[in-house]
A and B are shown apart, each in its own frame.
Chain A
Amino acid sequence: MTQESVISTEVRQWVGRESEPVTLEVERGAIRKFAEAIGDSNPLFNDEAAARRTRYGGMIAPPTFLRSVPLPKLPLPEMPNLRRILDGGSDWEYFQPVWPDDRITAVTRLENVRERRSRLGPMLFTTLKTTYTNQFGQVAATQTSTLIFY
C-alpha cells in the first residue's frame, strides 16, 4: 500500500454515511425519452399498447433508467484538490420493475474509499451504493458505483 494523503484519512471518516433521500416521480414520457436517448426501441419501454399485452401489463423502465434520478449531494467532504471525476463502473441488482407513476426514493451510502497514485497524481476511488425504493417500500434496485476523484 502506498502512503496515503490527508484527504483519504478525512474521507475514510465518512464511510457509512448516507445522503439525504432524493425522490423522482417516474413519468411515462421520461421513460420514452430515456429509451429514445439510448436508442432502445423495445416496445416494453416505448409502447403502452404493446406492453399491455405482456406479463407486465404496461410499460416499464429500461434497466439503467434509474440513472435519471437526480444525484443527491454525495456523502463526501469537500475535496478542493480533486476536482475531476471519472465514472469507474456500476453494479446493479434488480428486484422490482420500475413503472410509470412510481415514486422512487434514492439514498446513497459511502461504502468504501481507497487511494492510488497515478501519473495524473493521487486518485481517490470511492464506492457508493444507491438504494432505490418505490412508494410501496419495496427496494426496486441497488446500484453500486465507483467514482474516481483526481
Chain B
Amino acid sequence: MGKQVYYEDVDVGSEVSSLVKHPTTQQLVKYAGASGDYYQIHYDKDYALSNDLPGVIVHGALKNAFLGQLLTDWIGEEGTLRHLSVQYRSMDVPGDTLTCKGRVTGKEEKDGEHLVHCDIWLENGKGEKTTPGTATVALPSRCRAS
C-alpha cells in the first residue's frame, strides 16, 4: 500500500491521484460473472447492435467500481469512503483507455470526522467526461482532536 494521505495534506483544488483502466471484452465477461449482471448488451455484440448500440458497452456499474477504486487507492487503509455518486452520461466501450480522476472541492470537520469532498469523473480516450460524480471521504488527521 502507498503512503497514507492525511486531512492536512489536501486542500481545495488538490488532485486525486488518477487511475487508468483498459477494459476489455474479457473484463466485461468477468464482471458479469462476479456481479451477476448478465444483461446481454455487455457481452453479446449482435444483441447490442439490435438494441441500437454501437456494440457491447462497459457496464455502468464497472465504471462505478473503477471510480470506487480511484478513491480507495487514494485514501489508503486509514481513510473511509462515506459517499460515492456517479452518473453514466455517455457510454464507454471495451478497448478504450478510461482514466479516473478527481479534485478536492471542500473540507470540513463534522461529528469528529475529517471529511473531504471531491468531484470525480471518468474520461474516455478522447478526453471526454463520460461519467461524472462526487464523493466524500473521511481522512485521518495528523492532529488527533481527542
Write the residues of chain A forming the contact surface with B, with a CB cutoff of 8 angstroms: 30, 33-34, 36-40, 42-44, 54-56, 62-64, 67-68, 70-71, 84-94, 120, 146
Contacts and interface: CB of A to CB of B under 8 A. Distances in A.
Given A33-B33, A64-B65, A87-B88, 12 more contacts: A36-B30, A36-B34, A38-B62, A42-B72, A63-B71, A63-B81, A67-B35, A67-B61, A85-B39, A86-B88, A89-B86, A91-B83
A37 B35 contact: yes
B72 A90 contact: no
Nearest to A56: B77
A44 B77 contact: yes
25 contacts: A30-B34, A36-B34, A37-B27, A37-B30, A37-B34, A38-B65, A38-B66, A38-B69, A42-B1, A42-B72, A54-B77, A55-B78, A63-B84, A64-B65, A67-B35, A67-B65, A68-B34, A70-B36, A87-B60, A87-B61, A90-B85, A91-B83, A92-B83, A93-B82, A120-B52
Contact of A62 (B37, B60, B72, B85): B72
Given A85-B39, A94-B82, A63 B68 contact: yes
Contacts of A71: 36
Nearest to A93: B83
B88 A42 contact: no
Nearest to A32: B34
Contacts of B27: 37, 39
Interface-centre pick from A63, A68, A70, A91 (highest chain B CB count, 10 A) = A63
B60 A89 contact: yes
A89 B88 contact: yes
Given A37-B33, A38-B66, A68-B34, A89 B87 contact: yes
The 10 closest A-B pairs by CB, nearest first: A37-B34, A63-B68, A89-B87, A87-B60, A38-B65, A37-B30, A91-B85, A34-B34, A92-B84, A64-B65
Contacts of A88: 60, 87-88
Contacts of B31: 37-38
A42 B33 contact: no
Nearest to B133: A89
Interface in B22-42: 27, 30-31, 33-37, 39
Interface string B5-27: 00000000000000001000001
Nearest to B59: A87
Given A87-B88, A89-B85, A90-B85, A68 B36 contact: yes
Contacts of A93: 82-83
A64 B85 contact: no
Nearest to B33: A37
B73 interface: yes
